[in-house]
Amino acid sequence: MIDEKNNYQTVYINIDDSGKLVESENVAIYAGLVFTSKKEKDKFITQYRSIVKSIQCKYCKKESSNCKDKNSCPELKHNMLKPKHNRQLMNYIKKYSILCCIINNNKVYTNIKDNTASRGRFLDYALKLLIKETMKGLIKEKRINPNLPLKLVINIDEQTTKTNGYYNLKDSILEELKYGIFNYNYGYLNKPIINSDLEVNVCYQKSDKSYLIQASDLIAGTVRKLFLNNMKNTIEFSKRTSFINYRIFLP
């Protein structure tokens, strides 16, 4: 959405992961939400927080009569939610734009999965590609204008970054979107998709402090479960994940 007064746009991308890029797991998921205005983002947070507060006490070990602080309730993680509460939260989330990267670990070279630096570079590439495909989708849908100044705010779970160690994600995203990347192996330039000023901010957040990261955790966990349940039925997996607006499969 364009700020008519200042003639610039802001996009907010929020991402969390589920599953790791390791030999012992079949899939690694990066997923989350994208908003094209602060108003849209804040509206989501307000309603999502309200739903969370309505069910949070059901997961608290304290008796309700002894609970004096609602802020001390446990963070709702995907792997702890009952199916009905998962559906309740996901039904609201699906009203907004969802992005997702599905990495089939079985198709990734073992030397990449076993080496920390190689794994980090692969995940950096995966995130960069997911963000680029999301931005291309927003441009195609005319939700953003590539010829007007743009601010891109990327929120990522802090724990995810500690585990995988991203490599200069901010600069690589800026280079890919604004300047393009020359592929020396094939001798061609991946053309930039943003033609005006671009500011990229990457923020690492604690999930217990961010409803956006908590919602992204729920999306990633839900998609991972659907993938594992439909590994041999790609058509069914695609059908069950039709709520994803912007998706990529790797490798």
Give the C-alpha separation, 224 to 101, whole Å: 10
Q: Are strands 246-250 and 27-35 parallel, antiparallel or unpaired?
A: unpaired
pLDDT at 184: 46
Residues 16, 32: contact at Cβ < 8 Å? yes
pLDDT at 191: 85
pLDDT at 158: 82
Tokens at 140, concatenated: 């195609």
Q: Are strands 150-157 and 8-18 parallel, antiparallel or unpaired?
A: parallel
pLDDT at 162: 56
What is the domain-level CATH number for residue 179? 3.30.420.10
Q: What is the span of the domain harbouring residue 207?
A: 2-250
Looking at the structure of the chain, the number of domains it has is 1
Query: Over the chain (251 residues), what is each successive 10-residue block's mean pLDDT?
Result: 68 96 96 97 98 90 61 81 96 98 97 92 92 97 96 89 65 89 58 94 92 97 97 94 97 93
pLDDT at 73: 74
pTM above 0.85, yes or no: yes
Give the C-alpha separation, 100 to 130, whole Å: 7
pLDDT at 58: 86
Distances (CA, A) of 191 to 15, 166, 194: 25, 24, 9
3-state secondary structure the chain: CEECCCCEEEEEEEEEEECCCCCCCCEEEEEEEEECCHHHHHHHHHHHHHHHHHHHHHHCCCCHHHCCCHHHCCCCCHHHCCHHHHHHHHHHHCCCEEEEEEEEHHHCCHHHHHCHHHHHHHHHHHHHHHHHHHHHHHHHCCCCCCCCCEEEEEEEEHHHHHHHCCCCHHHHHHHHHHHCEEECCCCEEECCCCCCCEEEEEEEECHHHCHHHHHHHHHHHHHHHHHHHCCCCHHHHHHHCCCCCEEEEEC
pLDDT at 218: 97
